Structure 1
């Protein structure tokens, strides 16, 4: 049976079940055993054609992952299915309820740790219920501990930052714990690796943290990160990271005079760099946004 036919059959069966329900209510005391059996048969038939529920699929995936000595390809396929399912916020909550978090935690120590970190990132994204569950299970500490080792590779590190970013976003409890556990130093260390993708992810997380809690700006300032970011920018060649860094610097200097004073230091050469950037990109439609960012930062820092 092709997919179009299957969809039509599902609609017909659903319509039949719904109308069987309505007829049963209207009949009140005149409901016969045959009618109830017909309704059950239609419901069972519909379930059979529609396949297993998302919860059943997720349970099956977790069982596959738990099988001893199962190959990585099979586990990866199961994780891909789980990632697809938990994009739905209700499925994500069900994943927690059926015991999925301990399985994901266990996988952080395996060869597919990047997949496990990505799964956790998707699970907690914009989902307070799942954020709280992962936090309560010690997920933040596990992710930080793994990330601080740096031996897991850039791909895993990228997903770990992604997971931490999702876990702390709009969650003050997680953000406080992240800071207490040395998270700021961890992000600065990852930034210093010089990997473009990692730098982008770290800056994105830092910016969101500063938006959620303006006191983060002073923590970054105290670690010399504002000065370091300016020096990084003025040495930057090409436009790959320029927009990301400019956006972060604007975020830091807004309503923070201390950060502004650092950026305005003559020895850092930021003013000359911004003027040069504006001139180079003048008339270039592809980088008009970058030019506007440079212009805005210059106006804030060098009135």
Structure 2
């Protein structure tokens, strides 16, 4: 069934104002101009029902056939068959493998953007798979154009968000290892960020997906992204690693072996940026009930307690950093308890 067409992601619907009283002639009958926006359609409906606003003793008059037909056509113009639209964009992207490095990728990235307008709805995501949409994902991930690779990663991320059906399809078809390859080796940082975003969505609350990631050395790949010192990568990686710790607490010791603690401490700065919040949050997860993590945090070469005290002095009396202050207190509590 057609549904109202939604605006592109991250764009507000800003309909252009309709000229007041504009009319179009149809034969000998003057008709209002067809509305070109939802705002215009609303105005048309209000004008078409003015007779109903007359005094209560007036007789109700049904809309005549020509006005009814006009309104039905206007509604059709403002709706779209979602499956038909998805299929149209899939057909465009079937040729994405033919795009060369020096070709303009705009047509294909636009097709991805149009698909993204719809697939944040779970049922539509499932329909996207059922009509063959997943066939275009690997070609997008392997495109020579970063814009198309970014789009392919975002498609995967949105498809699997809180969607067990699509998560399972992704798990069963080798996308986890492909995304890890991108995170580890792609030269474009934006592609790596989107690939990490996709991996986070695939593994969220999904033990099978996480175990598949681990089987492909994914824990080391994610930890190593911290060393690239990019705030967006750090934010996504620390969020993912915190989730991994909650799902499989035994991973904490493996993260210690991968030098995760020292990497996190080295990333902390006295500048109270938001990235510190994610780093401190992961440190809290790591020291919670794990002796090896606690011992490494207590290592004198890091001087972590002194740093945290200075950091707390730097953010005190600032409500924006209350959560960071709580993380600091929890870390200090664990470290002090270990000394007593």
TM, length-normalised to structure 2: 0.73
2:90 alignment partner, one of 62, 74, 87: 62
Question: 1:101–1:134: 8 Å Cα contact kept in structure 2?
Answer: no
Matches within 5 A, 1:222-237: 222-233=257-268, 236-237=269-270
What is the CA distance between 1:49 and its match in structure 2? 4.7
Identify the residue that residue 267 of structure 1 maps to in structure 2: 301
Identify if the C-alpha distance between structure 1 residues 242 and 52 changes in structure 2 by more than 3 Å, giving closer, same or farther. closer
What is the CA distance between 1:172 and its match in structure 2? 0.9
Identify the residue that residue 92 of structure 1 maps to in structure 2: 125
1:73 alignment partner, one of 106, 110, 120: 106
Aligned Cα RMSD in Å?
2.3
Summarize deviations over 1:234-273 as a string: whole Å, max 9, x none.
xx24122221111110011112122112112223201111
Structure 1 residues without counterparts, runs of 5 or longer = 11-40
Counterpart Cα distance in 2 of 1:144 and 1:163: 10
Summarize deviations over 1:64-89 as a string: whole Å, max 9, x none.
22245584111111111111210000
2:327 alignment partner, one of 293, 296, 302: 293
Matches within 5 A, 1:88-237: 88-110=121-143, 111=145, 112-151=148-187, 153-233=188-268, 236-237=269-270
Counterpart Cα distance in 2 of 1:298 and 1:114: 40
What is the CA distance between 1:50 and its match in structure 2? 5.6
Question: 2:225–2:233: 8 Å Cα contact kept in structure 1?
Answer: yes
Identify the residue that residue 13 of structure 1 maps to in structure 2: none
Structure 2 residues without counterparts, runs of 5 or longer = 1-33, 46-68
What is the CA distance between 1:146 and its match in structure 2? 2.5
Summarize deviations over 1:188-226 as a string: whole Å, max 9, x none.
221111111111111111111112221221220121212
Counterpart Cα distance in 1 of 2:322 and 2:168: 41
Question: 2:272–2:315: 8 Å Cα contact kept in structure 1?
Answer: no
Counterpart Cα distance in 2 of 1:169 and 1:285: 30
Counterpart Cα distance in 2 of 1:210 and 1:231: 20
Count, aligned residues: 268
Counterpart Cα distance in 2 of 1:90 and 1:191: 35
| Larger helix percent | 1
What is the CA distance between 1:279 and its match in structure 2? 2.0
2:313 alignment partner, one of 279, 288, 292: 279
Question: 1:6–1:49: 8 Å Cα contact kept in structure 2?
Answer: no
TM, length-normalised to structure 1: 0.81
Summarize deviations over 1:103-160 as a string: whole Å, max 9, x none.
0111111111011101111111111100111111111111112222232x10000001
Summarize deviations over 1:156-177 as a string: whole Å, max 9, x none.
0000101111111111111001
Question: 1:264–1:302: 8 Å Cα contact kept in structure 2?
Answer: no
Counterpart Cα distance in 1 of 2:336 and 2:265: 14
